[in-house]
């Protein structure tokens, strides 16, 4: 799929330490660095030092937004960070997070990953009651709900506010001298806790715990509100008893880093099994299995292991892509795809190829890629997709394609195969997909289903 915009994703990361002077800014930097795949648009870190919250955020990669001098100033007892993926928003970084604000409970910093589905309604009501919204992010909504709460107790206000939010959300909040982690009742997005000696760490993915040598403790549970104090004591509660785990299965398919683990099942192994199941359904002869890098690699390895068709690194991915888009000349067809993905002629030439990708959304990239692979000399190109046809837009996503844009919504599998120029096309069924991750229960698979 390679960033064709199925969801708007973010990464969040937080630490609380018994005392100041532990370089929380640097630790948060390394955590965000490991979550960079979840968002390359902007990055930010907020640190509470005594009663003061300091924040630095801007558009750019983690390594571009921060330097040693800036991080040195970002020290304190509690820290949260954020990386944001977004095609929307302006260049001046207004939508970058964390959001730091003052409200009747004092100053609060907040990082958010997710999409509030009743945001329009809530915004309307909040505005009616006097709220002003300064960013495009619906992350502001929780702050306003808390701020407008009638109660004088922050935690009551927080719980009541969370109950009003629909959709997907993970929040990290610095309030008072606590670090608070929150997940929606469906556990749609990942969030987990770890320990780094006397410090408590919370992260979107476990790979960021690994990065700083922190030990994984457990997932945040559906509707959980976890309050961690500086001594590392954790007080857990649920903002609602009505939970219904529906973890976004696309975290396993595409979003997460393969070395991350959710509920005991690592992403890489899950993807391998998806690939094995694809192999079982594959009815043709082929010479080599090629992943679309990087997201198709694990599934392709599984496909190869099962089918005994050799795995080959038939497409090279170029990682030096910068921000500036250079106009190709008329002579340069397919340049946008070729800037990233380069088929290796010597591997592909004369071969019957199985191309393994994680998903097809609009079909545009797949079509160009199949053409590139055929131009590189493949005699047959069979496409294997480690997920079912996407037929519904994500009801949790803001910038996702509409029904009309989803190719699987208007075409049969055979028609899609023809459209993208593939000699055959195989998908997983929803059942096969879920079966690939059978140790984990409770997935959201709505984008594969007609509503």
Nearest distance from C-beta of residue 72 to a second copy, angstroms: 9
Asked if 313 is part of the footprint of a second copy (rule: CB under 8 A), the reply reads yes
Binders of a second copy among residues 55 to 84 (CB under 8 A) are 55-58, 61-64, 66-68, 70-71
Nearer to a second copy, 331 or 451 (CB): 331
Q: Are 384 and 355 spatial neighbours (Cβ–Cβ below 8 Å)?
A: yes
Largest separation between any pair of C-alpha atoms in the chain: 72
Closest distance to a second copy from the beta carbon of 423 (Å)? 23
Determine the Cα angle at 333 with ends 328 and 338, to 5°.
80
Closest approach, Cβ 83 to a second copy, in A, equals 10
Q: Which of 156, 244, 321, 435 binds a second copy (CB under 8 A)?
A: 321
Looking at beta carbons only, is 185 or 272 nearer to a second copy?
272
CA 92 to each of CA 55, 57, 58, 89: distance values in angstroms, whole numbers, following the listed order = 16, 10, 8, 9
* Touching a second copy, residues 291-310 (CB under 8 A): 297-298, 301, 305, 310
Tokens 């007609």, located at residue: 450
Bridge partner list, 115: 168
- In terms of CB distance, is 143 or 384 closer to a second copy? 143
Residue 134 interacts with a second copy (CB under 8 A): yes or no: yes
Residue 417: CB minimum distance to a second copy, A: 26
Of 262 and 443, the one with the shorter C-beta distance to a second copy is: 262
CA distances from 44 to 9, 52, 224, 322, 361 (A): 15, 17, 25, 20, 30
Q: Which residues are tagged catalytic? A: 10
Tokens linked to 86: 């977004």
Q: What are phi and psi of 54, to 5 degrees?
A: -105, 145
Q: Is 312 in the site for a second copy (CB under 8 A)?
A: yes
The residues near 121 (Cβ < 8 Å, ≥ 6 apart) are: none
Site for a second copy in 325-384 (CB under 8 A): 325-329, 331-333, 335, 338-339, 342-347
* Three-state DSSP state, 259: coil
Nearest Cα neighbor of 2 from 369, 410, 301 is 369
Choose between 197 and 441: whose C-beta lies nearer to a second copy.
Answer: 197
Closest CB to a second copy among residues 233, 318: 318
Among 94, 379, 403, 449, binds a second copy (CB under 8 A): 94
**Measured between alpha carbons, how far is 89 from 329 in angstroms, rounded to an integer?**
29
Q: Identify which range of 127-135, 232-240, 408-416, 426-434 contacts a second copy by CB under 8 A.
A: 127-135
CA distance 381 to 356: 10
* Residue 213 found at the interface with a second copy (CB under 8 A): yes
What residues numbered 378-437 form the site for a second copy, per CB under 8 A? none
Binding positions for a second copy, 150-209, rule CB under 8 A = 196-197, 207
Q: How far apart are CA 414 and CA 416, in angstroms?
A: 5
């Amino acid at each position: 799929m390679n960033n064709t915009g199925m969801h708007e994703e973010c990464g969040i990361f937080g630490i609380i330490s018994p005392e100041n002077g532990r370089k929380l800014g640097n630790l948060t930097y390394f955590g965000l660095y490991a979550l960079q795949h979840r968002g390359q648009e902007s990055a930010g870190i907020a640190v509470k030092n005594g009663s003061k919250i300091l924040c630095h955020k801007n558009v750019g990669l983690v390594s571009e937004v921060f330097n040693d001098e800036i991080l040195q100033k970002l020290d304190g007892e509690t820290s949260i960070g954020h990386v944001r993926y977004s095609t929307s928003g302006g260049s001046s970084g207004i939508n970058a997070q964390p959001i730091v604000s003052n409200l009747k409970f004092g100053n609060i910093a907040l990082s958010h990953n997710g999409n509030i589905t009743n945001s329009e309604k809530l915004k309307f009501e909040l505005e009616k009651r006097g709220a002003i919204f300064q960013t495009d992010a619906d992350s502001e909504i929780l702050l306003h709900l808390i701020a407008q709460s009638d109660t004088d107790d922050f935690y009551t206000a927080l719980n009541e506010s969370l109950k009003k939010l629909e959709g997907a959300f993970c929040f990290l909040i610095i309030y008072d001298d606590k670090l608070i982690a929150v997940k929606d009742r469906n556990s749609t997005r990942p969030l987990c806790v770890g320990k780094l000696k006397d410090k408590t760490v919370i992260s979107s993915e476990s790979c960021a715990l690994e990065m700083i040598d922190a030990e994984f403790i457990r997932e945040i549970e559906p509707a959980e509100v976890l309050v961690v104090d500086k001594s590392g004591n954790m007080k857990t509660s649920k903002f609602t008893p009505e939970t219904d785990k529906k973890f976004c299965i696309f975290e396993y398919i595409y979003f997460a880093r393969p070395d991350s683990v959710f509920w005991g099942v690592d992403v890489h192994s899950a993807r391998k099994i998806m690939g094995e199941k694809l192999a079982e359904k594959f009815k043709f002869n082929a010479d080599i299995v090629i992943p679309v890098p990087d997201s198709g690699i694990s599934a392709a390895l599984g496909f190869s292991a099962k089918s005994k068709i050799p795995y080959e690194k038939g497409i090279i991915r170029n990682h030096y892509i910068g921000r500036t888009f250079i106009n190709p000349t008329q002579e340069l067809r397919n340049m946008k795809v070729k800037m990233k993905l380069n088929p290796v002629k010597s591997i592909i030439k004369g071969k019957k190829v199985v191309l393994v990708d994680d998903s097809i959304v609009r079909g545009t990239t797949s079509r160009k890629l199949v053409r590139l692979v055929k131009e590189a000399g493949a005699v047959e190109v069979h496409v294997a997709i480690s997920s079912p046809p996407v037929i519904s837009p994500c009801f949790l996503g803001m910038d996702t394609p509409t029904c009309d844009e989803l190719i699987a919504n208007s075409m049969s599998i055979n028609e899609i195969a023809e459209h993208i120029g593939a000699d055959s096309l195989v998908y997983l069924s929803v059942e096969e997909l879920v079966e690939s991750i059978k140790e984990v229960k409770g997935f959201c698979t709505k984008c594969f289903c007609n509503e």
